Amino acid sequence: MQKENIRNMADYYMYISEIVDSIEEEYGNYPETEMYNLVESHVDNNQMIIYNGYHTTILDNSRNEPEEWKHMVGEDSSYHEVLQAMAYDVMKQDVWEEINDRDISY
pLDDT value of position 55:
84
pLDDT value of position 62:
83
pLDDT value of position 66:
60
Domains of the chain: 3-101 (1.20.120)
Question: What stretch of H or E contains 36?
Answer: helix 35-44
Quick one: which of 18, 23, 44, 43 has its CA closest to 34? 23
Block means of pLDDT (10 residues each) for the chain, 106 residues, are 89 95 94 92 90 82 68 68 85 96 92
Q: Cα–Cα distance between 78 and 3 in angstroms, integer?
A: 25
pTM score of the predicted model:
0.71
pLDDT value of position 68:
59
pLDDT value of position 17:
97
Q: Cα–Cα distance between 13 and 9 in angstroms, integer?
A: 6
